[in-house]
Structure 1
Amino acid sequence: MYSSLVRIQNTFGFFTTVAFVVAALIAASDFVTPRAPVVNVLKTTNLQVVRGRPHYYSSKKEEYAIIKFTLDADLSSLFTWNTKQLFVYITAEWPSTSVSGTTLPSNATSNQAVIWDTIVTSPSADHLANIGPIALKKLRKSAAGKPIDPSRGKITLKNQRPKYQITHPSGKIAETEDVTLRLHYNVQPWVGVLTWNQNADYGLWKQLSGGLSKKFSLPSLKKKDEGKKAKARGILVS
């Protein structure tokens, strides 16, 4: 006869084994669901380079770039019943040699900086979204009676202001050449491994179509209007 403790241990071991098998099947179900994310439009709409403190905690003034952009992407195929949320972000990338007037290490090959990001939650994870009660109510209404809301993952932005400015360790970034914008995504499931934007097709999972803007150059440093300053001085003197 087994003691009560041994029986409890056997029951617990059987339960954990069943839970592990079910979790593995849930995670494996993602691989039989097609993925075909598409970015139709990703382009810049306005470029500025100014000198100042890019952040309130910055200790010194430096050059920083403000890149406004337009985005039209359909990432809805990344949402399944096992998707918790989707993390989407856009980076600005440029080769180190394109930064004028800087001396960099020989092993420095490229620069990458995040300019914008967002989290898109699934209907079952809307309560985790950091949004107001009105927006949360609309999300729940759109998902009512649907396992997956078809509009989830469809992102349309026009002349979007970046969340983050671009700086460089040298403090100079004006007239940087060969800059591109790239969209990235990270699928976070309820059960399973995190998956990032892939560089090749894997079965039913297709690599991101589009997602890279045309190359552009950052403008020269935006200077204050000297005429306005002189006019202001004249008014003060008079």
Structure 2
Amino acid sequence: MYSSLVRIQNTFGFFTTVAFVIAALIAASDFITPRAPSVGMLKTTNLQVVRGRPHYYSSKKEEYAIIKFSLDADLSSLFTWNTKQVFVYVTAEWPSTSTTGVTIASNATANQAVIWDAIITSPSADHLSNLGPAALKKLRKSAAGKAIDPSRGKLSLKNQRPKYQITHPSGKIAEMADVTLRLHYNVQPWVGVLTWNQGVDYGLWKQLSGGLSRKFTLPGLKKKEEAKKTS
């Protein structure tokens, strides 16, 4: 009963319990920290629809939308001493049936496609960011000695080019109506569960204020005749 193996097992079990309790307390500490993310502006600045091939060997062309946008957002309240990084992304959304007559799968309530994303690391996780040596050195210098950097999470993008062009399984997306842009975030802590942008308030955690652009309609494709006249 009091062999060395039993004592090792008891000691290991004790430290495992202590580690689990500490981890639970660290994760619970997030709930007593206020969160109030907000978006001051999210709007499109340029819309374009082009035709292209999905891959090199494809003989069929599809329509692709290129959406440039401007964004002013304050997500700094999402960064606490337990925040590892925040994943931010912007989606284009439109209803399952467009007023232009383009019909989309009836089993889908809405269509959503990511046009831009970014990972914002906390000062304690800057070494994990995919940056060059010069940019990483500058980032570490700006956050030296800080567990929480008040400037982290403040986004100001002007006429931002999208990272991804969007299309539809039907291959047609021109003149799509009732399209909106929406900002999303995902908080990844050092210890605890992942949290996404919430639809309602949870105590000190407030839902994202703003984050939805006005509805707009994607432009149509230019006809060859019109292109010849302008050239």
2:197–2:207 contact (8 Å) kept in structure 1: yes
The 2-side partners of 1:84 and 1:42 are apart by 26
Partner-residue secondary structure (3-state), 1:25: helix
**Equivalence for 1:198:** 198
- Whole-angstrom CA distance in 2 between matches of 1:164 and 1:54: 13
Deviation track 1:116-150 (CA, whole Å, cap 9, x = no partner) reads 00000000111110011111011101111222111
Distance 1:105 1:41, change over 3 A: closer
Residue 150 of structure 1 aligns with which residue? 150
Distance (Å, rounded) in 2 between the aligned partners of 1:201 and 1:228: 53
Q: Based on CA coordinates, which of the two structures has the bigger radius of gyration?
A: 1
Deviations 1:202-232 (A, max 9, x none): 0000000000000000011134521477xxx
**Is 1:215 aligned to residue 227 of structure 2?**
no
1:133-212 correspondence to structure 2 within 5 Å: 133-212=133-212
Task: Give the alignment's TM-score, normalised by structure 2.
Answer: 0.94
Q: Which moved more, 1:50-59 or 1:171-180?
A: 50-59
Question: What corresponds to 2:128 in structure 1?
Answer: 128
TM-score (norm 1): 0.91
Change (3 A) 1:22 1:155: same
1:184-206 per-residue CA deviation (whole Å, 9 max, x = no partner) reads 00000000000000001100000
**Corresponding residue for residue 12 of structure 1:** 12
Tell me the distance in 2 between the aligned counterparts of 1:223 and 1:123.
Answer: 51
Q: Is the 8 A contact 2:90 2:116 kept in 1?
A: yes
Letter in 1 for 2:26: I
The amino acid of 2:111's aligned partner reads N
Unpaired stretches in structure 1, ≥5 consecutive residues = 230-238
Counterpart contact for 1:181–1:213, Cα < 8 Å = yes
Q: Separation in 1 of the partners of 2:104 and 2:90?
A: 25
- CA gap 1:159/1:118 in 2 versus in 1, 3 angstroms: same
Once the 2 structures are TM-superposed, how far is the Cα of residue 53 of structure 1 from its aligned partner? 2.6
CA distance in 2, matches of 1:194, 1:57: 40
CA contact (8 A) 2:102 2:176 kept: no
Q: Number of paired residues?
A: 229
Contiguous gaps of at least 5 residues in structure 2? none
